[in-house]
Amino acid sequence: MSSAPFTFVDLFAGVGGFHAALGALGGECVYAVEKDVEAAAVYERNWGIQAHGDIINDTETHMRVPKHDVLAAGFPCQPFSKSGLQRGMDEARGTLFWNILRILEVRRPTVVLLENVRNIYGPRHRHEWDVIVRSLRELGYQVSSRPIVFSPHLLPPERGGRPQVRERVFIMATYVGTRGSHIDVDPSVPHLPVDGWSPSEWDLETHLPVQPDPELRNELRLNLGPAETTWVEAWNDFVVTLRSAGVEKLPGFPVWVDAFIHEDDLVVPVGTADWKASFLRKNAAFYTEHQDVLEDWLSRWNYLRDFPSSRRKFEWQAQGASSLAETVMHLRPSGLRVKQATYVPALVAITQTSILGDRLRRISPREAARLQGLPEWFDFGDQPDAATYKQMGNGVNVGAAYHVFREHVLSSLAAVRRRAPRLALAVEESAISPDEALERHRDSSREVIVRRRRSADARRVAG
């Protein structure tokens, strides 16, 4: 029997965002699954647990997933059948969510913590959403018909928040038995800033914090290439030139250099989409009002003729900044997007990794890990940066998961206490932030790693 206050399984685990959150509450992981080889290697390096590669083999014929108190999963969204006559579990057959339901059917953990992209509650996936809710209720779990939507930038730093907008859907369910599971409840966590926190108070330099340049002296791969540097310098000159000319408010709409034409000469082709026609008119009006200033800027940069189409577009979302040095940038297919240096958009693929304006470099892998709430001791080994960025882009934010789970259990304390009193007590006595607890959790993770290595060595000697 585990000495930990509760046990959990970590499905589709990535590098262990859920593990970090639940481990910080005192939980012990008794099973993990992750098919990506690189992510599984990072998981084992840090948590001392070798993740299984295929959940199907462990659930379909024989249940090899051990008993546990909490099931956590960042599951992939797959289309379900639409017969309308089957129970939810049958409609989910053939998807990985069915394997989750199979575990719940056999093991009946007290709390279920699921995470997915926000679109899972959108119109395209409404059937899947309804099946998920109905399936959980049929198995005796009380769950809201509306999602919890939460992002780490809504949490203040002292509660484990991070300067990243990463709105995700969390599905929280508590086992109450089939007699009470069909009673709808409100989402246990509101989509609001916590404790009066204002997300505009975030500052990347201090709250991330940004790594000082000496730490990255040899990290030339983070620097912008010559062409990228030219694009940024040209658009920085655009901002500075307009500011110097007394333009206090830059356009809030996308600026398209190819649409710079005097209003008197503008012809919008018949059949042009409304949104595009609007942008064409706005750009023509902007050019007409500031023609002399813009022509002066364009002539200095050869009218951006050497720039690819996507770099002849500019999205300014940093009103108040006097130059790009005060911003965070993204090189996107839709143009160079510029935001205030408060918080960054959700981590995605490396091609859209945030660029720090004052450093003219991309955020580092360590900074990306910080944005996801992983501790400083978290070790990615010697894997390529691209793998780390991918894992962070696919990962669960630790602070957000910790907050959502903790708040849900506190709101369902009576039901949780009936089946898992030690879990309830652990959450009642927990800190409001996972950060300090994660530093302590490092020691227990190392103990697990050492214990497993000794066991493996003993088996080799015996063999």
pLDDT reported for residue 149: 98
Mean of the per-residue pLDDT values for the chain?
91
pLDDT reported for residue 347: 84
pLDDT higher than 80, residue 156: yes
pLDDT reported for residue 184: 95
pLDDT band at 450 (very low <50, low <70, confident <90, very high): low
pLDDT higher than 60, residue 81: no
Percent of the chain with pLDDT over 70: 90
DSSP string covering 236-251: HHHHHHHHHTT--S--
pLDDT reported for residue 90: 56
Q: Which pair of structure tokens corresponds to residue 194?
A: 């916590």
pLDDT higher than 60, residue 109: yes
Average pLDDT over residues 306-328: 95
pLDDT reported for residue 231: 97
Asked if residue 297 lies in contact with residue 247, where contact means CB atoms within 8 angstroms, the answer is no
DSSP string covering 364-409: PHHHHHHHTT--TT---TT--HHHHHHHHHHSPPHHHHHHHHHHHH
pLDDT reported for residue 11: 97
Which residue in the list 29, 77, 139, 423 is annotated as catalytic? 77
- pLDDT tens per residue, range 334-366: 899 999 999 998 887 545 589 999 999 999 999
Average pLDDT over residues 158-179: 96
pLDDT band at 88 (very low <50, low <70, confident <90, very high): very low
pLDDT reported for residue 85: 44
- pLDDT tens per residue, range 204-253: 999 999 888 777 766 778 889 999 999 999 999 999 999 999 998 999 99
Give the lowest-confidence range in 57-61, 77-81, 257-261. Answer: 77-81
Please tell me the pTM assigned to this model: 0.89
pLDDT band at 27 (very low <50, low <70, confident <90, very high): very high
Question: Is pLDDT larger for residue 446 or for residue 257?
Answer: 257
Average pLDDT over residues 131-137: 94
pLDDT band at 61 (very low <50, low <70, confident <90, very high): confident
Question: Is pLDDT larger for residue 94 or for residue 354?
Answer: 354
Average pLDDT over residues 112-133: 90
β-strand partners of 112: 71, 173
User: Catalytic residue at 29?
Assistant: no
pLDDT reported for residue 94: 60
* HSE-CB for 293 with a 13 A CA cutoff: 16
Domains and CATH numbers, the chain: 7-199+393-462 (3.40.50.150), 212-363 (no CATH)
pLDDT reported for residue 455: 62
What is the β-pairing status of strands 168-175 and 255-256?
A: unpaired
Asked if residue 332 lies in contact with residue 352, where contact means CB atoms within 8 angstroms, the answer is yes
pLDDT reported for residue 206: 92
Asked if residue 258 lies in contact with residue 309, where contact means CB atoms within 8 angstroms, the answer is yes
pLDDT higher than 70, residue 280: yes
pLDDT reported for residue 217: 66
DSSP string covering 200-258: GG--HHHHTTPPPGGGGTT-GGGBPPHHHHHHHHHHHHHHHHHHHTT--S--SSPEEGG
